[in-house]
Structure 1
Amino acid sequence: MSDLTGELIDGRYQLLRQMAAGGMATIYEAVDTRLDRKVAVKIMHPHLAQDEQFVERFIREAKASAALSHPNIVSVQDQGWNQNGTPAVFLVMEMVEGHTLREYLNEQGSLSVANGIQFLLPVLSALAAAHKVGIVHRDIKPENILISKEGRIKIADFGLAKGPLLGTTMTAESSVILGSVSYLSPEQVQRGIADARSDVYSAGITAFEIFTGEKPFAGDEPIQIAYMHVNERVPLMSTKKTGIPAELDQLIQRATNSDPDGRPKDAGEFHAALSAIAQSLDPNQKQMSLELDIPIAPMRPASKKPSRRERARAEKEKTVSLKKNREDSNELPEKGEPTKRETTAQIKKRKKISKRVRRNRFIAAGLAISLGIFGWYALVGPGSRVVVPSIVGATENQALSALSPLGLTLVISEKRFDEEVGDGQIIESDPAGGGKVDAGGQVKAIISKGPERYVIPMLVGLTPEAAVNLLAKSPIKVGELKEVFNDRTPKGFVISSSPAQGEKVKRDATVDILVSKGVETLDVVSYVGKSADQALNELTEAGFDVETIDQFSESVLAGAVISQVPSGGAPLPKGEKIALTISKGSQFVFIPNVFSLTEAKARAALTDLELKVVVKKIGAKKVKSVTNIAPKVGTKVKRGSTVTITVG
């Protein structure tokens, strides 16, 4: 989105500078020219303004916040469409000058138990007010919790809120995409549904991070983190950091229960339980009704005694009055006293007054010196230094937009990999946000290159030595080199790698390599003269491709192996073809004696010998038997020859 700094929105809101930018909108610091006050104006990106669903979400955020009146919720003051100038859908909110809880945690790390409870109670108080009227935030995370310079904690961004006051909600898919996966409850991930207990879960995860300085789950991809929220139990905080009170540990464990029924029913119940723990840890601490997380020191009551300046002024006036009286006394002496001469009492009185005058002069000189030092400090000294805004998480262009109006220069001192900060975003700055630098000075920044990942190169077909040398060019370690038989990859070359080619891995990841031992060979024995069934079973089980050929043999019994190619006695590659010639027995048979047998039995006996049968019938008997056979009984003939039988 182009920078709209300088634009007058809706004829009322003068945009001064960009404060933040996200995937949906950009937030500007602005002046309400009608009421002459600073405000924050949130302007939707133009390409999203064409999407009714996103516009609906934008308007819903205004309705959600406007429906709530609570000191710990950022108030929404206006919403509309910019009709004059650049078309824009905008939202006007109160200006909260300060920083986010995320920035605070990035700087401070984990907080003490007492400070952490101070941060949590205002958040839960605000959520309790929302839950009381049926509004669910659905996106509680440190980025949406603001801390003003006055110490007030406020919840912002009700853009994902749902409730009866807000109409329909977004789809489950949109909610999961728009919400921060590290803080989503299991039911939001699985079913896209949310109620007050879902906010309790998100607040519990935020509390876990406040007290331990880290999130309960971490992963390379958002889907991995979402999977862990659904399938794993959030650990006890005491496993991450010592010194956590047992009752607090159990409360956060209960708030982050995977089962919604096991959590506090809403933020009000969560707030009451946490308040009770705070009271038990420090019984003397008074609980603040307005939930100011960083208590502001009360102003000292005005003193009834006159101030030092007032006393000095009074003394000066008194001194002038006494001096005038003394001069008048010298000019007009009383009768009987010498002219222009002072008595001993008058001299003592003058000396006493002179000390006071001298003291007043010292005070005046001191004030003048103090004013001079203060002027030097504010105008040309250290007091003239510029306060650096927080640019952590911003892109280089966004950081330039924030620093340039202040006359500061951005210097990229380093580019570094980071597992949490996205590519192109600023990890840290020097000075950090809130620090000071000379006018026209430089702000050094370290920019993220995103998560450090390396692509597995193609190793298939290389020798192991070449594969190891190729991996050595990246910070990747070689794991197990394993050799296996393979009938496709030649011996001594890489078959595959794990992880496979093209996958992205972290620094010092281990890659296992599978190397081919070539085709497996087996010793084969000769089966000539042995049973064909034995040869087939054993050779097939060993992995060979067996081919059989049937053939008549006058010397080898039927069913035995006549010959084998290749012959046994030498190793053969597994899967090789082996041809077996199997005996069908003798080619010749002798004509059997079938006289006096019925036609059916005689035909069966001859057919078994692979002879063809021709039948001649004579006579009129009902049951006929063989009376003649040709060739005659005992004749040697080839299988397949024709035999004629006469029945009658």
Structure 2
Amino acid sequence: MDTTLTDPIVGHLLDGRYRVESRIARGGMASVYLALDIRLDRTVAVKVMHHTLAEDPQFVRRFIGEARSVASLSHPNIVQVFDQGTDGKLVYLSMEYVPGRTLRDVLRERGRLPAREALEIVIPVLAALGAAHQAGLIHRDVKPENVLLTDNGRVKVVDFGLARAVEATNQTKTGMMIGTIGYMSPEQVTAGVADARSDVYSAGIMLFELLTGRQPYEGETPMSVAYRHVHDSVPVPSALVEGIPAPLDALVAAATDRDPAKRPSDATAMLVAAVQVHRQLPKTPQQLPKAGAHAAPPATPAQPAPAEPYSTGQMLAVGLNTPRQNPPANVTRTMVHPRPDMLTAAPETPRSRKPGIFRAGWFVAGLALLMVAGIALTGWWFSQSRNVKVPELTDRNVTLAKQQGESQGFVIKIGKARFDDHLDKNMVLETQPAAGSEVARGSVITLIPSAGPETVPVPKVEGMDEATARDAIAKAGLDVGRVSKVASDTVPRGLVVRTNPVVGKQVRKNSDVNLVISAGLLMPDVTQMTRDQAQQILTQKGFNVQIDETADDTEPGTVIAQDPPGGSETVAGAPVRLTVSKGPDQGWHWPWENQPGQNMANVPDVRFKNVQDAENELKAAGFKVKTRDVLGTQRVVDERPMGQQPIGSQITIWH
């Protein structure tokens, strides 16, 4: 089925950065998509949590914290986490894309694997888990679905921390246990707690499945399987499949012990034991006895004698934290006794030994020490890598990123900061080499901090004409935004009165600066104003006021006309003629006096109040309001008409 038609996330630009190309897989907790990181131009895998989890705030908080911890892991056998984030209701992880298939796919295709091949898969898994355990992280969900085999043969572990984040949800756990109960340790089932030894148990179950082709327990319900994990001991693989070498039985038995204290202390301890077993595996199955076969019995000394060097089987038991004197019951036949080819006659007392035998004893002891050193070195080689990946340190505070890098063994240097429009100052913009690059341990990583957006001061353009001001603003690295005009009796027409933002303010480069241009000196409109108020305003502005009176129906003392009219261009000192009403002729009466039943109301006195407050008060009293700007202030300087007026009539205010 074409997921493009059925999955709305396919084709979506997630978080403005990840272009989702196709869906790779879908599981119980999340879906995985192939995506292109358009910022870094690289292919990534994006894991998007199902909405039932993403809608749980507790899960999202824990998920973010776990993602940050996992992102700090840098190991060749761990799938690198690059980024985490949210996009609307989508909660996602951006991870290294690993072309290949899961270990579950291999098991479905091939069934059980040969012993050597099974160990060669488990060993790098243990190396990955060991690195996490040393960093204080527990996987909690080790299973074949979370082990990837790349096309070039590398083994990768994925989904560190996701199970821990799910534990934080308020949802029932039953659905989450169905897919993983077969690998859960007894303590996870009974108490819901997990530590490094829980991962060891799961790895032991996975090794059992690789060797036998099935899980140790089956049941009709998840709880029946969980019950057997708690109350039964995991059988040795050779009980199901003949020919599995005894050391592998011992490794599985120790890793899957129901008592956590009897298991290897962490994945690194199990890794050393697994490497030792791998070294013992024969090229052909006949070279070691099967788990059910008996080795030749040892020669029993008549009296206590110095211990013989440990056989490889005994060293395995030590590596698995098993006391030398009391090895596991199911491995006593092969683990406690020397191999047949190393048996000698019963040891003599020290006085009867010959010099040649002494030398032979020292030689065997030296050989044993050499073998121990070889095992330790091989374990270290498997668990370490000469090359490591550069961790993801971008989008983090420089100081914290430096501490994280140094804690992982890198030498951290701080490079020259670079301006960036999207990242805050002192956040890591880039690393050199880039995250995910393979470098030698202890290499130098240079952090390039963000200097934040580049800012420039708004230039002084007041008093310039518009063309000159535009040129000055462009040279400063800014753009001209909105241009508006305003009357001014101090700035000549066509020149800049002011800018917004103001001169000298630091603003982002390439941002807009608005210009306010002078429209010159305009004649104020004082019609309908009282004579005294109009004359005062015009005189203050420097005009030469002349007044004519005439009979008119308007209230006496009201300016009914002016010349030049309001809004016309003029110059300071120009004459202005006002026509003022001296009242109506005799016999005139107010229009509403002949209209019985006319609703009247007192006009509120709003002079010297804020313009907006004045408008609201007049409208609340039932009047219409007209405003006129004569002084450019936000205070009312005059109001007409006043007294009692018909409700619904117009009141003019000047400011």
TM-score (ref. length: structure 1): 0.42
TM-score (ref. length: structure 2): 0.41
